[in-house]
Amino acid sequence: MVSAMPTLDLADVRAVLGDRTILDRVTLTLPAGGLIALVGPNGAGKSTLLAILAGLLAPATGEVRLDDEPLARLGDRARARVMGYLEQQPECHWPLSVAALARLGRLPHRGAFGSLDPRADAAAVEAALARTGMTGFRDRRIDHLSGGERMRAHLARVLAGEPRVILADEPLAGLDPAHQLEVMALLRELAAQGRVVVVVLHDLALAARFADRAILLGEGRVLADGPPETALDDAALARAYGVSVTRVEIDGRRVPLPTARL
């Protein structure tokens, strides 16, 4: 278990990019313990919301709090130790090995003169490589990997930091079905262990199947929020995406599959 279960709070957040209001009046409490899927059509503001949660983008109005402490008041290092942020389409422009990339995830835990605890650093890196199935890739160059392998290497970097909050923006992009299932199971497990885990997904079936809670963004706000079976009901999906769905039962959940544009 992770000590002290964290909670992220957004209070009446508005996001403005350029001269456009992207999100308005978003109020959410995101506790640890259950996997939270953030879904919504292209341009709904999912990445914007995730960057705000990560403390990388300041809201125009409103506030983000971590355990009742305004995120803006945490220093960059303190924030980086808590937050594991996996950006959409992460890039790495150096020919690093997978293991070297994962070690970068330990940077927020280092002191001014290097590692404070080399053994803890190495153990965290090995555990992260193992959990993402990347141990066998440790010496491979990151720029010589497939898109899905690269995504898992970046996930290893995030996990190596042992964050209490994990914010992953479309981490399944480029992953084959087996690795999609594996990463979803891993994210659910990380949440169950007492972390706040928010994952942006396009796959409604995987969201409904693995998430304990779905937050549906659209029209600049939260359209629905709750257990996937209610938040992602037919009416909500029709409104947000303009699609009809059929349902397939998997593991006792009625999982939506888009069938047609409305």
Judged by CB under 6 A, the chain residues 18 through 47 that form the site for ligand ADP are 18, 20, 22, 40, 42-47
- Nearest distance in Å: CB 18, Mg ion: 16
**Residue closer to Mg ion, measured from CB, 128 or 166:** 166
- Nearest distance in Å: CB 42, ligand ADP: 5
Judged by CB under 5 A, the chain residues 30 through 59 that form the site for Mg ion are 46-47
Q: Does 132 bind Mg ion (CB under 5 A)?
A: no
Q: Does 54 bind ligand ADP (CB under 6 A)?
A: no
Residue 195 CA to residue 197 CA, distance in Å, equals 6
Partner whose footprint covers residue 70, from ligand ADP, Mg ion, none (CB < 5 to 8 Å by kind):
none
Partner whose footprint covers residue 40, from ligand ADP, Mg ion, none (CB < 5 to 8 Å by kind):
ligand ADP
Contact between residue 35 and residue 171 where contact means Cβ atoms under 8 Å apart = no
Partner whose footprint covers residue 108, from ligand ADP, Mg ion, none (CB < 5 to 8 Å by kind):
none
- Nearest distance in Å: CB 128, Mg ion: 24
**Residue closer to ligand ADP, measured from CB, 22 or 158:** 22
| Sites of contact with ligand ADP (CB under 6 A) | 17-18, 20, 22, 40, 42-48
